[in-house]
């Protein structure tokens, strides 16, 4: 009976696969938004001032960081919860097989901080008056402090030999 329950619980991990595939599917939406932003930049390039071009480039950077985050979380989660990806393969990324949940937490925290920083820069450059910039700056500081905290805890765990 115990063995059957354990096999069932281990088998349930495959129910996560459609979620990871759907997460990767969101990359199509990111491609669509990226293409739209790039099209606007190309179509209206002559009429944009420097600030507007920087704003569009920031939006593109934001989308690339989000896409990287989606891929990193999907791949590392698949490896952690479903099945190891056999590495190294020809052309496979160097980090494949090296991301544990601790590494992913630090990378996600840093990515969220970078995305927040770019969004804050965009709002600031849009010259949005009022308290919105201050509120976003405060939220960004919280993200940065959280990323530092996660990295610190990860380092302490690694130093003590715990994983």
Domain count, the chain: 1
- What stretch of H or E contains 108? helix 101-125
pLDDT score of 29 more than 90: yes
Q: How confident is the model at residue 162 (pLDDT cuts 50, 70, 90)?
A: low
Domain assignment of residue 107, given as a range: 2-159
What is the dihedral angle through the alpha carbons of 104, 106, 108, 114, rounded to the nearest 10 degrees?
-150
pLDDT of 129 reads: 66
Tens digit of pLDDT for each residue in 91-112? 666 666 666 677 788 888 888 8
Question: What's the pTM?
Answer: 0.75
């Amino acid at each position: 009976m115990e063995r059957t329950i354990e096999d069932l619980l281990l088998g349930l991990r495959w129910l996560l696969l459609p979620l990871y595939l759907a997460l990767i599917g969101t990359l199509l939406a990111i491609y669509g938004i990226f293409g739209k932003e790039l099209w606007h930049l190309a179509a209206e390039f002559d009429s944009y001032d420097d600030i507007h071009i920087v704003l569009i480039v920031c939006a593109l950077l934001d989308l690339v960081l989000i896409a990287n985050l989606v891929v990193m979380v999907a791949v590392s989660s698949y490896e952690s919860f479903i099945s190891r990806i056999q590495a190294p393969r020809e052309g496979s990324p160097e980090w494949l097989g090296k991301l544990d949940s601790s590494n992913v937490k630090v990378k996600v925290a840093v990515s969220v901080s970078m995305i927040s920083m770019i969004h804050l820069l965009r709002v600031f450059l849009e010259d949005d008056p009022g308290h919105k910039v201050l509120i976003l700056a405060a939220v960004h500081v919280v993200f940065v402090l959280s990323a530092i905290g996660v990295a610190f805890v990860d380092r302490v765990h690694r130093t003590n030999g715990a994983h």
